Amino acid sequence: MKRDDYLPEEAEIIEVIQETGSNLNIKTFHLKLIGDDPVFDFKPGQFLMLTVHGVGEAPFGLASSPSNRDRIVISVKETGKVTAALHELTVGDKVGLRGPYGNSFPVEEHKSQEIIFISGGIGLAPLRSAIDYVLDPDNRGDYGRVQMLQAFRSPEDMLYDYDQPRWEDAENIDIKYTIDKPCEDWEHCVGFPHKLIEDEIDCIIEGAKYYVCGPPIMIKSVINELLEIGIKPKDIITTLEMRMSCGLGKCGKCNIGHRYVCKDGPVFSYQELLDMPEEF
Amino acid sequence: MRLKKLNSEELIELLEIFFAEYDLIAPFKVEQGRLNRVLFRKIRQNNEIPSIYLKEMPETTPKNFILPRDERLDFERFNSEREENENSLARAKTRLFFGVRSCDLAAIELFDDVFLDEDYLDPFYESRREKNIFIGYSNQILPPNNFQKELEIGYFDHQLAPAFIYEDLEARGREHYWLKIKAGYQFSKDVEAHLDNLETGEIGNLEKLLNDWEDKFTGETDFEIKNKLPFPEKEVFNQVDWQEPTASCLGCGVCTYYCPTCFCFDFFWDGSTKNRAWDSCMFSLFTEHASGHNPREEQHQRWRQRLLHKFSYHPQNYNDKPGCVGCGRCIYKCPVNLDIRNVINAVDKTLVKGGQASEER
Ligand SMILES: Cc1cc2nc3c(=O)[nH]c(=O)nc-3n(C[C@H](O)[C@H](O)[C@H](O)COP(=O)(O)OP(=O)(O)OC[C@H]3O[C@@H](n4cnc5c(N)ncnc54)[C@H](O)[C@@H]3O)c2cc1C
Ligand code: SF4
Ligand code: SF4
Ligand code: FES
């Protein structure tokens, strides 16, 4: 039986990376647990609850591969109280964290398949845990070709520029980037991701899995496009965001129908979403 | 099973012994200007005992003591005591809740399902739930708007209560109160010694009395839930007209705060201390994201959540048990008299119509 007393454990910020350029509104935090047991075991797609002491608590998707056990990575967009306070913190500061919570990307089930990651903005953060897992040399052989379509508002909004060369150099991989509007010196695609799927991705109908993550409107239009092409709902995987307090399926905040996004999600296949009331 | 007959003085004597032995919590009449409210309160002194008021359904329930409206999640205190005393917020005395209606006992059972779950155990709840005794109560007045019978909750017994007291408001003397104690249950020595001195009752007589009450209650209620629970979630979510029956709702949350089965909560910080407080799905901010996006923009969508949580989602997650015990409080406490039974009727009507339509096809 799991016993969780909502008690966050102490963690220290060991690195802060300013991700985005002009907006300066996304930062990546590397954290380390301080207690007797510094190991934080999780699966790709799970999330944690982070406490900024005296301010509040908020959920964030784990953004690193679980194989990297000495640091916990999250990328945070400044939107309100907790995220603003977190953005003020720096290396050496302490935060609280509890978790991991939720289910995970079905990376085990999808072994030997091709995987296509489609992200919008900070939606790349939770996908990063699955990307790094699949590209991990220990696991790479278990999966087929990997394709990515990463969408950002502008070149300034791109995430993980330090990861991109490593990802591009990985074996059997194809990465496309797109921004909303044309701009100077941009050599990649332009336009919303759903408009680019047909031309830019080698869309495999059988034996490929589509992981889609981003703002709700982007998720909806990408999924519509994938269905149009003939991709089956069970092959489309996405994560949902709802307001959350407990992370344990108890506080009653995050339900869609009888399912709790914090416990039965945040990862759902589109097939599962079809069976749920549309309330997200 | 043991059955004892008591008059009013004997009941007070019994309560005095309970008070000496336990932390006694019972319904009280509290004056608020011209209004009287009946609320569960902890008895502080012996002379308060005659003011315990049982006749009318209390507005509050033991919920307020087991999942308080707000509580400090005081980890330091909690953890040190956990080591000493195997998980309990060391409470010197057992709490005895006296005069709890069967529907409210069913509500505690529902809380246990949620917070003492197999895959998750809430230690704060657990500690408050330890060392409690509940003594049930009923009389021949059906609480206003009560529909517990439709939810298959009996009026005169509940498994959480080792003892039940029945008050025959029409009888005087030793026939006024009947105390039923379940087989094998033993109170403390002092209480037992006192019980030994009380007159034993005839079970047949009590049964006859309770049958009469039940018949009377049946005559008084005509509400019916036509469709089986859980309501089919997607169908009901999409097809019922939620706006019409809930249009007058103010979103005040009163219904959820008085409801003995509502358990939604939120955390808030007081400096560096984490607290938990009741929250309500009837509030507009309940599901609002930081981005401003809100999956439930309108009040009727919040009503849909409240109703379906109780009659579809909760039963799906907890062995078909409804998330409502039919106590009726939300109906008489609502400032605009919005009646949950009418909303259930709207669901029933839609489902029946849908059923007929598919038969015709
Ligand atoms: C499973 C999950 C994973 C997430 N992963 C990330 C991530 O990797 N990076 C990232 O930047 N953001 C992520 N979010 C969104 C992030 O949790 C919100 O941006 C954050 O809660 C906003 O809090 P705030 O205090 O700054 O905003 P405020 O508006 O001040 O919010 C006040 C309170 O509302 C709640 N709240 C508001 N919006 C949300 C929301 N969208 N989701 C949940 N709770 C909310 C929080 O409990 C917060 O304490 C995720 C959300 C979920 C549910
Ligand atoms: S008490 Fe009545 S008005 Fe207030 S939220 Fe509940 S249904 Fe709406
Ligand atoms: S929903 Fe209304 S009738 Fe049902 S348990 Fe709650 S207060 Fe009682
Ligand atoms: S966050 Fe509390 S139920 Fe999901």
**Interface contact flag, B73 A6, Cβ < 8 Å:** yes
From the candidates A10, A243, A271, which should be mutated to test the interface with B, based on the most B CB atoms within 10 A? Answer: A243
**Interface contact flag, B123 A54, Cβ < 8 Å:** no
- Is residue A203 marked as binding? no
Query: N- to C-terminal Cα distance for chain A?
Result: 30
d(CA A31, CA A27): 13
- Using CB atoms within 10 Å of the CB of residue A42, give its burial: 0 to 12 exposed, 13 to 18 middle, 19+ buried: buried
**Interface contact flag, A248 B289, Cβ < 8 Å:** no
Residue A199's pLDDT is what?
A: 81
pLDDT over 70 percentage in chain B:
93
Residue B358's pLDDT is what?
A: 43
Structure tokens at A113: 């398949």
pLDDT, tens only, B127-136: 889 889 999 9
What is the strand order of the sheet A9-18 is part of?
Answer: A56-61, A47-52, A94-101, A9-18, A26-33, A72-77
Structure tokens at A108: 């085990």
Structure tokens at B51: 């003011």
Structure tokens at A69: 């056990």
Element (H, E) at B151: none
Which ligand does the CA of B111 lie closest to?
3
Arithmetic mean of pLDDT, A199-210: 84
Long-range contacts of residues A159-164, Cβ cutoff 8 Å, at least 24 apart: A159/A19, A159/A20, A159/A26, A159/A28, A159/A75, A159/A121, A159/A122, A159/A124, A159/A125, A160/A19, A160/A28, A160/A124, A160/A128, A162/A17, A163/A128
Q: How far is the CA of A53 from the centre of ligand 1 (A)?
A: 16
- Only one residue has tokens 């914090």, namely A262
pLDDT, tens only, B214-266: 999 999 988 999 999 999 999 999 999 999 999 999 999 999 999 999 999 99
pLDDT, tens only, B341-357: 999 999 999 988 766 44
Residue A70's pLDDT is what?
A: 79
d(CA A175, CA B181): 73
Cis peptide before B144 (omega within 30 of 0): no
Residue B86's pLDDT is what?
A: 42
**Statement: residue B85 has pLDDT above 80:** no
Handedness of CA B278, B284, B289, B294 (dihedral sign): positive
How far off is chain B from A155, nearest CA to CA, in Å?
A: 22
**Is B255 touching ligand 2 by the criterion CB < 6 Å?**
yes
Q: How far is the CA of B300 from the centre of ligand 2 (A)?
A: 11
Confidence of residue B185 (pLDDT cuts 50, 70, 90): very high
- Is residue A213 marked as binding? no
pLDDT greater at residue A202 or residue A166: A166
Q: How far is the CA of A167 from the centre of ligand 1 (A)?
A: 28
d(CA B324, CA B314): 9
Structure tokens at B122: 């809430």
Element (H, E) at B233: helix B233-239
Q: At a CB cut-off of 8 Å and minimum separation 6, what does B64 contact? A: B40
- Whether A132 and chain B come into contact, CB under 8 Å, resolves to no
d(CA A84, CA A58): 11
**Do A46 and A102 contact (CB within 8 A), yes or no?**
yes
Chain mean position to CA B216 = 22
SS (H, E, C) A169-230: HCCCEEEEEEECCCCCCCCCEECCHHHHHHHHCCCCCCCEEEEEECCHHHHHHHHHHHHHHC
pLDDT, tens only, A17-70: 999 876 668 999 999 999 777 788 899 999 999 999 989 999 999 999 888 877
Confidence of residue B359 (pLDDT cuts 50, 70, 90): very low
d(CA A94, CA B136): 50
Residues of chain B in contact with residue A2, where contact means CB-CB under 8 angstroms, are 119-121
**Is A58 touching ligand 1 by the criterion CB < 6 Å?**
yes
Q: How far is the CA of B109 from the centre of ligand 3 (A)?
A: 14
Q: At a CB cut-off of 8 Å and minimum separation 6, what does A239 contact? A: A45, A61, A123, A126, A213, A265, A266, A267, A268
Which residue's C-alpha comes closest to atom 22 of ligand 1? B290
Residue B335's pLDDT is what?
A: 96
**Interface contact flag, B234 A276, Cβ < 8 Å:** yes
d(CA B227, CA B351): 8
Q: Which atom of ligand 4 is nearest to the CA of A249?
A: 3
From the candidates B233, B278, B320, which should be mutated to test the interface with A, based on the most A CB atoms within 10 A? Answer: B233
Residue A194's pLDDT is what?
A: 79
pLDDT over 70 percentage in chain A:
97
Q: Look up the pTM and report it.
A: 0.91
Query: N- to C-terminal Cα distance for chain B?
Result: 56
pLDDT, tens only, B34-57: 888 999 999 999 999 999 999 999
**Statement: residue B290 has pLDDT above 90:** no
d(CA B208, CA A224): 66
- Only one residue has tokens 């939810």, namely B151
- Is residue A183 marked as binding? no
Residue A24: Cβ within 10 Å count: 12
